[in-house]
């Protein structure tokens, strides 16, 4: 089994197929310390790594210098106020204002099933270890939860905090913390802004605090709840990497603290800024889960571990393992200027080209002719859709297409019937004019009456017509935080209660409509996180659909999240965000690394581009399973070399692979490139075929001969120089006998 417990020595060892995670309890007074996280080892007793034998300040032997011990011991879940002056995971305040907390080991329990509440992991082939810590003075119980599966290299942690006596206030309640030595480690974070989300940022770790956070009420365009702690020599194929990813969709905190003895403390959880949670006697608080992975195969091994975890144990949608319908969204085609005739014209042309779904985006409801009104008024604008929604949907279905629709359920416009009826439903501080963004306010989703109203209007629309897909958007962050329903000593609970309200709403939606394909979105990629993946198997990756910009956005996203979750479309040129013109063929290759769809007016694009769509549709159906379920390998990074980009998807049984190569910059007097493949079976024999868009078929690439896998991975293949910028090539590598 994955978890081994030495009850006598109080050692806890968690094993995945390739890694081990060990924590243990020190001698009296019984502190839980982090011992080891890395390559799987056989020995369980490696407690010498706690360094207590070399430390003369162990409290049981030398209480006069207890604080010196506390400030260097590798606590598994450090608390505030009793001598550990580093960043803490837990800070508790009493009604008298005291904040000292000291946690001692109190016991453990073990479960052989994994079925916690959403958002969170699930699965039958796992175990959950609970280690109980107590502060007797506070009447506080802290349950550290560790989940391990026997089929993936991940440790999932979260914490339950219980007051058994007095009223307490949690000022800081992180999901996980652990300490490790710093052997010249570097820190990787994913940062950006709107239309430039999740760019990879790498830097050496220095003394003090380094990290990222969000205080926007959502994951944010600016930062991801992810940390990569990597060896200096770490690449995509070698070196050590630890990845930490919070399974949460709100304000987060993810950081590394290097202390005076050059050791590191890695922490993640809910952002303590503007957070507080009141615990009455007998009440509990549960933190979000966080996923930890370790890889000695560099960043590539880390990514594949995250992908396997999320595909197999996090995503729950009935669409999890299905090919997603190829959709066309009318947003960049029409923006707000459309009617029933225009949508049906797009649908007819799309159906003739093999596209499978029409998605009607913003502008179909209330008096929504621009972004200045009507959010909250979820009734059909019959000036645009004469005869109503069902008539349009039936018309689209008659053409052979599925139908999808856009909502922004969490928002409310000042110019709306809903706001005029319920101005108190908007988040705002009484007596203060709340700030607008995109001329809209945020509904207080923490309130049950608001959630019930939103669910009713959503279900009324979905019950009225055959709608098979919903794009759930959120186009502004939270600010001016106040809820009229919460008392003064609970106002700082609003941000977290808001996220829990969103989870409840989406959970109710999926329970009522289990076959619905839900895609989350937040002004593009501002809510791209593992919490949302529990409800939607795909998330809109970025509003920037330019193929070249997407190379960096999708590389950073794929560092943590499976390709099957990345909403990616072929859009028109010049691109609406950056103005770049790229070949239609290349746009298809880049979008193939995601869910694949179209964001354009198919009735107006150049004839040669439109003629290519049936071939791209066939390309998607040929390769989508390999892309969605295969192991991901990064071959080259445009963000590093500024010339070209390349990645592979390899079948689990290594019988086939798909290589994508994008030449971003053509260069004069430049010969071919040699590319070394990854992930193949060294002993298998493979043949290589190029997908030819003109004939929509596979043609032999290079000499018609077979190559052993070890040759392709060590000697490599030749990619001939492509004529011009922004050109791409797609190669299918197939093992003989497959």
Alpha helices in 314-447 (DSSP H): 331-334, 340-353, 389-398, 417-421
* Domains 3-313 and 327-629 fall in the same CATH topology: no
Averaged pLDDT for residues 263-291: 97
Superfamily of domain covering 3-313 = alpha-galactosidase from lactobacil brevis (2.70.98.60)
User: Is 634-735 a domain of CATH 2.60.40.1180?
Assistant: yes
* Residue 570 in this model has a pLDDT that exceeds 70: yes
Helices then strands, counting H and E runs in the chain, come out as 14, 42
Taking phi over 0 as left and psi of -120 to 50 as alpha, with beta for the rest, 172 belongs to beta
Mean pLDDT of the chain: 96
Edge to edge, the sheet with strand 3-6 lists 3-6, 11-15, 19-25, 32-39
Task: Identify whether the C-beta of residue 197 lies closer than 8 Å to the C-beta of residue 542.
Answer: yes
Angle 448-464/494-512 helices, nearest 10 degrees? 30
The encoded tokens of residue 174 equal 């992180």
Q: According to the model, what pLDDT value does residue 50 have? A: 86
Strands 597-599 and 570-571 come out as parallel
- Residue by residue, DSSP assigns 395-410 as HHHHTT-EEEEEE-TT
Q: According to the model, what pLDDT value does residue 577 have? A: 95
- Residue by residue, DSSP assigns 191-205 as E--TTSTTEEEEEE-
Distance CA 215, CA 208 (A): 21
Distance CA 255, CA 263 (A): 14
Averaged pLDDT for residues 404-423: 98
DSSP state at residue 208: E
* Residue 53 in this model has a pLDDT that exceeds 90: no
The encoded tokens of residue 227 equal 């940390």
Task: Identify whether the C-beta of residue 324 lies closer than 8 Å to the C-beta of residue 595.
Answer: yes
Q: What secondary structure, in 3-state letters, does 21-39 show?
A: EEEEECCCCCCEEEEEEEE
Q: According to the model, what pLDDT value does residue 597 have? A: 98
Q: According to the model, what pLDDT value does residue 720 have? A: 87
Closest among 357, 307, 374 to 152, alpha carbons compared: 307
Give backbone dihedrals phi and psi of 245, rounded to 5 degrees, phi first.
-135, 120
Q: According to the model, what pLDDT value does residue 301 have? A: 98
Averaged pLDDT for residues 551-563: 98
- Residue by residue, DSSP assigns 381-398 as -TTTSTT-HHHHHHHHHH
What is the per-residue pLDDT across 388-409, written as a single tens digit (0 to 9) for each?
999 999 999 999 999 999 999 9
- Tell me the pLDDT band of 429, cut-offs 50, 70 and 90: very high
What is the per-residue pLDDT across 361-371, written as a single tens digit (0 to 9) for each?
999 999 999 99
What is the per-residue pLDDT across 446-468, written as a single tens digit (0 to 9) for each?
999 999 999 999 999 999 999 99
Q: According to the model, what pLDDT value does residue 56 have? A: 59
Averaged pLDDT for residues 59-81: 87
Residues in the chain: 738
Task: Identify whether the C-beta of residue 101 lies closer than 8 Å to the C-beta of residue 95.
Answer: no
Angle 340-353/607-629 helices, nearest 10 degrees? 70
Task: Identify whether the C-beta of residue 22 lies closer than 8 Å to the C-beta of residue 11.
Answer: yes
Averaged pLDDT for residues 537-550: 97
What is the per-residue pLDDT across 334-364, written as a single tens digit (0 to 9) for each?
999 999 999 999 999 999 999 999 999 999 9
Closest among 661, 702, 698, 653 to 679, alpha carbons compared: 653
Within 18-103, strands assigned E span 19-25, 32-39, 90-94
* Residue 57 in this model has a pLDDT that exceeds 70: no
Q: According to the model, what pLDDT value does residue 723 have? A: 80
* C-alpha pair distances (Å), 44 with each of 15, 53, 126, 150, 294: 10, 18, 20, 18, 18
Domain ranges, ordered by start, for the chain: 3-313, 327-629, 634-735
- Tell me the pLDDT band of 377, cut-offs 50, 70 and 90: very high
* Residue 196 in this model has a pLDDT that exceeds 90: yes
Q: According to the model, what pLDDT value does residue 339 have? A: 97
* Residue 1 in this model has a pLDDT that exceeds 80: no
The encoded tokens of residue 605 equal 């694009």
Strand partners, 230: 186, 241
* C-alpha pair distances (Å), 418 with each of 411, 413, 449, 476: 10, 8, 13, 18
Q: According to the model, what pLDDT value does residue 618 have? A: 98
Q: According to the model, what pLDDT value does residue 64 have? A: 79
If 0-12 CB within 10 Å is exposed, 13-18 middle and 19+ buried, where does residue 463 land?
exposed
- Residues annotated as catalytic are 473, 543
The encoded tokens of residue 243 equal 């990845």
What is the per-residue pLDDT across 648-681, written as a single tens digit (0 to 9) for each?
999 999 999 999 999 998 877 777 899 999 999 9
SS3 420: helix
What is the per-residue pLDDT across 493-522, written as a single tens digit (0 to 9) for each?
999 999 999 999 999 999 999 999 999 999
Share above pLDDT 90 across residues of the chain, in percent, rounded to a whole number: 91
- CA gyration radius, the chain: 27
What is the per-residue pLDDT across 10-51, written as a single tens digit (0 to 9) for each?
999 999 999 999 999 998 789 999 999 999 999 988 988 888
* C-alpha pair distances (Å), 729 with each of 153, 224, 622, 714: 33, 31, 15, 21
Distance CA 470, CA 317 (A): 13
* C-alpha pair distances (Å), 89 with each of 24, 239, 266: 18, 29, 10
Q: Is the peptide bond before 736 cis (omega within 30 degrees of 0)?
A: no
The encoded tokens of residue 511 equal 């329970």
If 0-12 CB within 10 Å is exposed, 13-18 middle and 19+ buried, where does residue 304 land?
buried
Distance CA 420, CA 483 (A): 18
Task: Identify whether the C-beta of residue 25 lies closer than 8 Å to the C-beta of residue 33.
Answer: yes
Distance CA 186, CA 210 (A): 11
Taking phi over 0 as left and psi of -120 to 50 as alpha, with beta for the rest, 589 belongs to alpha
Strand partners, 329: 359, 599
Q: What is the CATH number of domain 327-629?
A: 3.20.20.70
What is the per-residue pLDDT across 230-264, written as a single tens digit (0 to 9) for each?
999 999 999 999 999 999 999 999 999 999 999 99
- Tell me the pLDDT band of 222, cut-offs 50, 70 and 90: very high
Helix (H) or strand (E) holding 499: helix 494-512
């Amino acid at each position: 089994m994955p978890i081994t417990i030495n009850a006598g020595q109080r050692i806890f060892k968690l094993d995945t197929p390739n890694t081990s995670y060990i924590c243990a309890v020190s001698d009296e007074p019984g502190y839980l310390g982090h011992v080891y996280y890395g390559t799987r080892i056989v020995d369980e007793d490696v407690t010498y790594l706690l360094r207590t034998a070399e430390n003369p300040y162990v409290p049981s032997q030398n209480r006069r210098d207890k604080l010196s011990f506390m400030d260097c011991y590798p606590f598994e879940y450090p608390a505030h106020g009793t001598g550990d002056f580093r960043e803490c995971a837990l800070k508790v305040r009493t009604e008298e204002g005291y904040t000292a907390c000291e946690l001692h080991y109190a016991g453990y329990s073990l479960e052989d099933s994994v079925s916690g509440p959403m958002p969170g992991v699930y699965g039958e082939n796992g175990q959950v270890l609970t280690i109980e810590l107590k502060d007797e003075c506070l009447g506080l119980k802290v349950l550290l939860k560790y989940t391990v599966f026997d089929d993936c290299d991940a440790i999932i942690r979260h914490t339950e905090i219980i007051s058994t006596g007095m009223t307490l206030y949690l000022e800081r309640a992180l999901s996980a913390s652990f300490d490790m030595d710093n052997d010249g480690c570097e820190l990787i974070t994913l940062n950006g802004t709107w239309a430039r989300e999740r760019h990879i940022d790498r830097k050496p770790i220095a003394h003090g605090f380094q990290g990222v956070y969000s205080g926007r009420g959502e994951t944010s365009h600016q930062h991801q709840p992810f940390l990569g702690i990597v060896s200096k020599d770490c690449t995509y194929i070698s070196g050590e990497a630890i990845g930490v990813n919070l399974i949460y969709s709100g304000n987060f905190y993810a950081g590394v603290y290097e202390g005076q003895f050059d050791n590191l403390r890695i922490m993640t959880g809910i952002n303590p800024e503007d957070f507080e949670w009141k615990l009455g006697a007998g009440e509990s608080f549960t933190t979000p889960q966080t996923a930890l992975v370790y890889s000695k195969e560099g960043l590539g091994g880390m990514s594949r571990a995250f992908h396997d975890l999320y595909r197999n144990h996090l995503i729950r949608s009935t669409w999890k393992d299905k090919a997603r319908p190829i959709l066309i969204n009318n947003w960049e085609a029409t923006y707000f200027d459309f009617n029933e005739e225009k949508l049906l014209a797009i649908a007819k042309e799309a159906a003739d080209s093999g596209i499978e779904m029409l998605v009607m985006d913003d502008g179909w409801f209330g008096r929504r002719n621009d972004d200045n009104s009507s959010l909250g008024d979820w009734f059909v604008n019959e000036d645009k859709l004469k005869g109503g929604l069902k008539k349009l949907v039936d018309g689209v279905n008659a053409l052979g297409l599925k139908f999808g629709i856009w909502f922004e359920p969490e928002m409310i416009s000042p110019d709306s019937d809903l706001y005029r009826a319920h101005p108190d439903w908007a988040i705002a501080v009484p007596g203060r004019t709340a700030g607008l963004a995109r001329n809209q306010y945020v509904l207080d989703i923490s309130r049950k009456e608001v959630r019930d109203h939103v669910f009713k209007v959503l279900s009324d629309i979905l019950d009225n017509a055959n709608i098979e897909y919903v794009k759930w958007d959120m186009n502004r962050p939270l600010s001016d935080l106040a809820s009229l329903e919460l008392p003064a000593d609970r106002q700082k609970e609003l941000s977290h209660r808001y996220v829990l309200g969103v989870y409840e709403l989406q959970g109710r939606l999926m329970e009522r409509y289990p076959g619905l394909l839900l895609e989350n979105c937040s002004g593009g990629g501002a809510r791209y996180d593992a919490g949302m993946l529990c409800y939607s198997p795909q998330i809109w990756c970025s509003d920037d659909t330019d193929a070249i910009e997407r190379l960096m956005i999708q590389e950073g996203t794929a560092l943590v999240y499976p390709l099957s979750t990345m909403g990616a479309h072929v859009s028109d040129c010049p691109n609406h965000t950056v103005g770049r013109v790229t070949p239609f063929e290349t746009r298809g290759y880049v979008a193939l690394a995601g869910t694949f769809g179209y964001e354009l007016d198919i009735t107006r694009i150049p004839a040669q581009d439109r003629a290519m769509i049936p071939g791209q549709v066939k390309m998607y159906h040929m390769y989508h399973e390999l892309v969605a379920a295969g192991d991901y390998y990064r071959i080259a990074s445009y963000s590093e070399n500024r010339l070209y980009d390349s990645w592979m998807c390899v079948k689990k049984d290594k019988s086939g692979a798909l290589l994508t190569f994008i030449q971003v910059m053509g260069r004069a007097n430049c010969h071919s490139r040699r590319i070394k493949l990854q992930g193949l079976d060294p002993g298998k024999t493979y043949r290589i075929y190029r997908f030819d868009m003109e004939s929509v078929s596979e043609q032999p690439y290079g000499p018609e001969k077979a190559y052993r896998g070890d040759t392709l991975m060590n000697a490599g293949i030749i990619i001939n120089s492509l004529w011009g910028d922004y050109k791409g090539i797609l190669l299918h590598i197939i093992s003989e006998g497959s």
